[in-house]
Amino acid sequence: MVIKVFLASSSGSTAIKKKQQDVVGFLEALKIDYSQLDIASNEENRQWMRENVPGEMKPTGGIPLPPQIFNEQIYCGDYETFFNAKEDNAVYEFLGLSPPPGSKRKEIQEAEQNGDAHPAELEDAQEEKEEEDEPEAEEEDESREVAVEENQDEGDEDKVEDTHLVSEADEDLMSEDEEELQKLEEEEEEEQGSEEAED
């Protein structure tokens, strides 16, 4: 079974381009086999897509816009329904595919098919699995906090070094100012001395 994604390669709409990229990127991230069918350069693809999108899914204008997603000949949905499935963590069901082994959805499906567990037990099993995953998240949080603290300590050390540099610069400026003041005072004293001598 191949997932078909109908796209418009030369669409002038940035919204449509973003939606297409979102669908394609997500399918690639999940390593789901799919084929892209361009409706902009291939009239047959355009006609097929328009004819096979169910009437209730067509917009009021009557022309469905890309991206449109099919599993072989079976219509899956447009971007909005895809996005909702993604939010509900139900993309495999949306596409009519069975979840890969090891995923939570796969475990629940198998338990339901075997009749081994009641819904309450399935929920408990899922909660247990989530709790097992939590310590890792806590460890990650702790390691992040340690890294933040280390960064703050380094920042404090940098600040201390900066204040040393600032204070040295201040000292240089102060000593220059003091020297100038001394010179001015000496000059004033000399002038006063010469004035007194003349009197």
Give the tens place of pLDDT for each residue, 75-112: 999 999 999 999 999 999 999 998 887 766 555 555 55
The confidence band for 146, taking pLDDT boundaries of 50, 70 and 90, is low
Do residues 13 and 40 lie in contact, with contact meaning Cβ atoms separated by under 8 Å? no
Question: Is the model more confident about 184 or about 59?
Answer: 59
Q: Is the peptide bond before 67 cis (omega within 30 degrees of 0)?
A: yes
| pTM tops 0.75, yes or no | no
Per-residue model confidence (pLDDT) at position 160: 46
Kindly tell me if the per-residue pLDDT of 39 is higher than 70: yes
Percent of the chain at pLDDT > 90 equals: 41
Do residues 68 and 78 lie in contact, with contact meaning Cβ atoms separated by under 8 Å? yes
Kindly tell me if the per-residue pLDDT of 125 is higher than 60: no
Q: Please report how the helices 14-29 and 79-87 are oriented relative to each other, as an axis angle in degrees rounded to 10.
A: 40
